Amino acid sequence: MGINNPIQKRYDFVIFFDVKDGNPNGDPDAGNLPRVDAETGHGLVTDVCIKRKVRNYVGLKNDEQPPYGIFIKEKAILNNTIEQAYISLNINLQEPPSDQADGKKRNKTGQGQGKEIDRAKQFLCQNFFDIRTFGAVLSTGANAGQVRGPVQFTFGRSVDPIVSLEHSITRMAVATEAEAEKQGGDNRTMGRKFTVPYGLYRAHGFISAPLASQTGFSEGDLELLWEALENMFEHDRSAARGLMGTRKLIVFEHASKMGNAPVQQLFDTITIKRKDDSTPARDFSDYMVSIAKDQIPQGVTLIERL
């Protein structure tokens, strides 16, 4: 796995996931309301949110041990991780480069230069799953350049417009004695909670083989990505998110590195519609997903993971 056997084919995929009585991706700039397209009323889930769930799943499964470390994680100090890469490679950033091809003197103390940057970048790609998958900006601190990741997602967008419900909630306790005194011992804390009764979301993903060859994204990494997408909600439960789950994962495998068909042509073969428009959708069974298999061009293989 890792940098030794990068994937040799392009992949494009569609993922359907849903939420029931929960908030799939709150907007902190809008009081944590579910994200929504203001013009159409369709719900949105950011690509960053989906990547976060993939990172969390991979990190949990592998205890964040190399080669499955997670670079972007809670409370991480990224510059320290970049600096640690140089330490692991025995590159002293306080002294002139050991290879004069990288310069006779250190241009800036504490920063890599020349081929040192490429070595640090390769080290980080080898040890951190999310760097070789999604890429990363590593040019801060000790400087390990930038990595353009082979895997990218679009926003998830709900199939139908969503409805955001607001609920008043009560906590039968307060945080401080001062709050208790103000309430005369009643000790109640009021709050708000936002939920979507039901929403089915569709997101798209793309995997570039040429970029995978640069980061070392391998066949093993690819299989782990599919597993994470299928199970990313299983260990992401919370009272705020309600009931969420991946419903379908449809993959288009190209026969070549550069691809055999435009992605829009492939995605257009997948349609979804309500079985009954007379009542609001409240379950995945209220929808029907169809794939026009006869319209999939030669050189592309359809794989229904779920």
> How many Cβ atoms are within 10 Å of 227's Cβ, its own excluded?
15
Asked whether 304 and 258 are in contact (CB, 8 A), the reply is: no
User: What pLDDT does residue 18 have?
Assistant: 98
Residue 45 is inside which H or E element, if any?
A: strand 42-45
- pLDDT over 70, % of the chain: 99
Q: Which residues pair with 170 in a beta bridge?
A: 190
Is the CA virtual torsion 287, 292, 298, 301 positive or negative? Answer: positive
Buried b (16+ CB within 10 A) or exposed e, 30-52: eeeebbbeeeeebbbbbbebbbb
Q: DSSP letter string over 161-190?
A: E---EEEEEEES--SSHHHHHHTTT---EE
Backbone angles phi, psi at 58, to 5 degrees: -60, -40
Asked whether 191 and 239 are in contact (CB, 8 A), the reply is: no
User: What pLDDT does residue 125 have?
Assistant: 97
Structure tokens at 212: 């995978």
Is the CA virtual torsion 75, 77, 82, 85 positive or negative? Answer: negative
Question: Angle at Cα 202 formed by Cα 201 and Cα 203, nearest 5°?
Answer: 120
Band (4; pLDDT cuts 50, 70, 90):
low
Band (188; pLDDT cuts 50, 70, 90):
confident
> How many Cβ atoms are within 10 Å of 246's Cβ, its own excluded?
19
User: What pLDDT does residue 100 have?
Assistant: 87
pLDDT digits (tens, 9 = 90+) for 11-62: 999 999 999 999 999 999 999 999 999 999 999 999 999 999 999 999 999 9
State the total domains in the chain: 1
pTM across the whole model: 0.93
pLDDT digits (tens, 9 = 90+) for 128-177: 999 999 999 999 999 999 999 999 999 999 999 999 999 998 888 888 88
User: What pLDDT does residue 2 have?
Assistant: 40
Band (186; pLDDT cuts 50, 70, 90):
confident
> How many Cβ atoms are within 10 Å of 192's Cβ, its own excluded?
11
Helices (H), the chain: 47-62, 78-88, 115-127, 129-134, 177-182, 209-215, 219-231, 263-267
Token look-up 């550069």 returns 258
* Across 80-87, average pLDDT: 97
First to last CA, the chain: 25
pLDDT digits (tens, 9 = 90+) for 106-115: 999 999 999 9
Asked whether 45 and 230 are in contact (CB, 8 A), the reply is: no
CA nearest neighbour of 54 among 186, 215, 234: 234
- pLDDT over 90, % of the chain: 88
The CA dihedral of 183, 187, 190, 193, to the nearest 10 degrees, is 170
User: What pLDDT does residue 176 have?
Assistant: 86
Measured between alpha carbons, how far is 8 from 210 in angstroms, rounded to an integer? Answer: 8
pLDDT digits (tens, 9 = 90+) for 267-290: 999 999 999 999 999 999 999 999
Q: Is the pLDDT of residue 3 over 80?
A: no
Structure tokens at 277: 């428009």
Residue 159 is inside which H or E element, if any?
A: strand 156-161
User: What pLDDT does residue 251 have?
Assistant: 98
Q: Is the pLDDT of residue 187 over 80?
A: no
Amino acid at 162: I
Instruction: Report CA Rg, the chain.
Output: 23
Q: Is the pLDDT of residue 1 over 80?
A: no
Band (182; pLDDT cuts 50, 70, 90):
confident
Range of the structural domain that residue 58 is part of: 2-304
3-class SS at 286?
helix
User: What pLDDT does residue 89 have?
Assistant: 96
* Across 198-202, average pLDDT: 98
